[in-house]
Amino acid sequence: MTQVLFAALGVLVGALVTVGILDQRQRGRLRTERVRAERAEASRETEARTSAQALEIRALILSSMEEGVLLFNGTGSRIYANTALTRHLGAVPERLDALLPLELQRAARRAADTGSPIPVEVETGAPPRWLRATARPVGGDGSVMLVVRDVTDARRLDAIRRDFVANASHELKTPVASIRAAAETLRDGAIDDPPAAQRFTEQLEREALRLSRIVSDLLDLSRLETGSELDERVHLDAIAADEVERLEDQAAEANVKITLHADGVPSIHGSARDIALLVRNLIDNAVRYTPAGGTVDVTVTTGGDDVIVRVTDTGVGIPRRDLPRVFERFYRVDRARSRETGGTGLGLAIVKHVAENHGGDVSVQSELANGSTFEVRIPVAGAVPAPGAP
């Protein structure tokens, strides 16, 4: 339409020039005005297009946000809510006075009254979730915007981290206290009594070893959590053979017989060091929790698209109620037995981490007093291509 008008104007100017009604100066002025008008119109159209696009982009951003956004005007009517908000609150009220949980409503009112942002954290729903929200005044007419974030996972991780630090400190304190006590006893005279000196130096050695095991397991765990390089071709059967050999003396000392069954399994893609750690922890546990005369069978085989490591023992077994928790850090069924046999309570947490880092998983079946079977499955898919392979 406007283009038609400009064209018409152009035609009109041309016609007036032709008939001599417009002189040279007037013609120039009219042309300039026409160009100006054309530019103004073009920029208005661009502006309209840009602001429509901006609105679209804004709506897209708001609807794809993790945070819930809710806007009430000065009279307390809802004027906007995005989809995340419905996810966080369940129902989205039409009016501020129907907003639940009440803590959010109070924060919104205070923000409107004080003109300052009001942060609030609230537990809601079943199963309970934690929401962190900020109510902000907007526009100075009593309108308020609430931005709501679900922080349940973050709080849970915080709690796990806090528990972990408390547990780790506690685990480290015990051998340290024991080392201090032995050193003090030696200094206070036991050093001159050879049998006592022998006993206390043995205690020092034992506790120092325990300390170094805990530290080494903690370092392994933290390395596994930050993610290892998984770029090797790993031969699980060869690793299992090495680890069985490594633990044979310890097993012979405990009068436990280890047997290895390893088919030629395909290699997997991953970290040989971590897989060795996984296999070592499983066999070491099986030996430590199996009384003299028992057996430990280590099998490496394939099943579907997975390589499977299965470690079966005829040991003490695990009570059914403890089974779901044995992979937790520092969880022990029998604390005294774990300690006596040099356990740290971290072995199975390491096994689980390694399995999961390799895209696999670990499971356990056990019967009290009859023995346990731990099974790790790791997918073959994604094996490192052979050198020179396409």
Query: Distances in Å between the alpha carbon of 40 and those of 2, 33, 45, 54, 347?
Result: 11, 10, 9, 20, 74
Q: What distance in Å separates the CA atoms of residue 352 and residue 287, rounded to the nearest whole number? A: 19
Q: What distance in Å separates the CA atoms of residue 34 and residue 42, rounded to the nearest whole number? A: 12
Whether 376 contacts 356, CB under 8 Å: no
Residues 6+ apart with CB under 8 A from 357: 224, 227, 228, 230, 270, 271, 274
Whether 133 contacts 122, CB under 8 Å: yes
Q: What distance in Å separates the CA atoms of residue 346 and residue 224, rounded to the nearest whole number? A: 12
286 binds ligand ADP (CB under 6 A): yes
318 binds ligand ADP (CB under 6 A): yes
From the list 314, 344, 358, 377, which residue makes contact with ligand ADP (rule: CB under 6 A)? 344
Shorter beta-carbon distance to ligand ADP: residue 22 or 208: 208
Q: What distance in Å separates the CA atoms of residue 33 and residue 282, rounded to the nearest whole number? A: 87
Stretch that binds ligand ADP, among 124-132, 150-158, 278-286, 301-309 (CB under 6 A): 278-286
69 binds ligand ADP (CB under 6 A): no
289 binds ligand ADP (CB under 6 A): yes
How far apart are CB 73 and ligand ADP at their closest, in Å? Answer: 57
Judged on CB neighbours under 10 Å (0-12, 13-18, 19+), 223 is: middle
What residues numbered 354-373 form the site for ligand ADP, per CB under 6 A? 372
Q: Listing from the earlier edge strand, what are the strands of the sheet with 78-81? A: 78-81, 68-72, 143-150, 129-138, 118-124
Stretch that binds ligand ADP, among 2-10, 118-126, 143-151, 338-346 (CB under 6 A): 338-346
Residue position matching structure tokens 């708001």? 62
Shorter beta-carbon distance to ligand ADP: residue 239 or 283: 283
Stretch that binds ligand ADP, among 44-52, 160-168, 235-243, 341-349 (CB under 6 A): 341-349
What residues numbered 371-390 form the site for ligand ADP, per CB under 6 A? 372
175 binds ligand ADP (CB under 6 A): no
How far apart are CB 204 and ligand ADP at their closest, in Å? Answer: 21
Stretch that binds ligand ADP, among 45-53, 128-136, 191-199, 310-318 (CB under 6 A): 310-318
Residue position matching structure tokens 């633990």? 247
String of contacts with ligand ADP for each residue 82-101, x by CB under 6 A? --------------------
Shorter beta-carbon distance to ligand ADP: residue 300 or 351: 351
Residues that bind ligand ADP (CB under 6 A): 281, 285-286, 289, 313, 315-318, 326, 331-334, 338, 343-349, 372
